[in-house]
Chain A
């Protein structure tokens, strides 16, 4: 089983470094936007170290930049951070160490580390992929934030390099092996439909949370397959 699904460690490591570097370039644009939006470089760096959730951070500084107060900036940031709770739940079977270790590992629960971990079938390989990706992304995101906050603009638009198209491609490559599990294709389809249907109405962050509903038909299908 593991022979098909689990890439060898070297490959997982190169994937982790690759995704980290791309996140780092986004970190630079976050640093630039954070300072332009009114944060000090110290605030931008503390945010990247401790909040460490790109989408929430961009939303927070986006509200500040358009003249909203810090409290108004909290709402979309928290909405976008909510999916990390679901990611953390999906990693419960992977992160099984002592409490102190789990408490540290929790800080690394984000889109990229979850996707990389869940692409592995073996829990040990999944945990290694989670840690490699989480640490690589944390280092690059913070280095990028620091560089962007200190150096300011003039570093170019990540979109011109196609970096915004990189993340869905990466998540697709990591989702694909998971679709072999019973019920997973139904869960993916139902979740995607629910999320897209909500985009026009719901605040940012809510559609991805709503995709959780896809777990229900997924589990039903998985159980009917098994029985």
Chain B
């Protein structure tokens, strides 16, 4: 039973990933469609950032992740290197949790 569900999940998750690259990827796309597709990741990433920073089940909570995101935001604004941004965010959350 577990194996059957597992294999089904493998098939479904690959199918979802493949819709764009396999089904749409081979075609020539008009400029308007290209422009729209180029914008698709933007709202998804914005939502992911906030849900990963604030979400806890069905609640929105402000915990150590929020100051960590603020630190990351300042560093991104100051054009800090990617790894500096990421490590500073982790360090902020880790420190706040160690203190609490």
Contacts and interface: CB of A to CB of B under 8 A. Distances in A.
Interface of A: 7, 11, 14-15, 18-19, 22, 38-39, 43, 46-47, 50-53, 56, 60, 64, 69-71, 73-74, 77-78, 81-93, 95-96, 99, 102-103, 105-107, 109-111, 114-115, 118, 159-176, 178-179, 181, 183-184, 187-192, 194-196, 199-201, 204, 207-208, 210-215, 218-219, 222
Interface string B1-31: 1111110111011101111111011100100
Contact of B94 (A81, A161, A173, A200): A161
Given A168-B72, A211-B43, A222-B39, A77 B9 contact: yes
Given A19-B86, A88-B20, A187-B43, A172 B25 contact: no
Contacts of A183: 39
Interface string B42-70: 11111111111111011110001100110
Given A70-B4, A173-B86, 4 more contacts: A60-B9, A74-B9, A92-B25, A165-B92
11 contacts: A22-B90, A90-B44, A107-B17, A163-B90, A167-B52, A169-B68, A173-B72, A181-B39, A187-B42, A196-B60, A214-B47
B6 to A, nearest CB: 6
B6 A90 contact: no
A56 B17 contact: no
A47 B58 CA distance: 26
A39 B14 CA distance: 21
Interface of A is mostly: helix
B42 A171 contact: no
B19 to A, nearest CB: 5
Contact of B40 (A51, A89, A171, A204): A89
A89 B24 contact: yes
Given A218-B42, A222-B35, A160 B94 contact: yes
B83 interface: yes
Contacts of B54: 196, 199
Most buried by A among B17, B21, B64, B93: B21
Contacts of B29: 92-93
B99 interface: no
Given A164-B52, A165-B65, A50 B46 contact: no
Given A161-B90, A201-B58, A89 B44 contact: no
B73 to A, nearest CB: 6
Contact of B64 (A22, A95, A165): A165
A1 to B, nearest CB: 14
B39 A215 contact: yes
B26 to A, nearest CB: 6
A174 B41 CA distance: 11
B14 A50 contact: yes
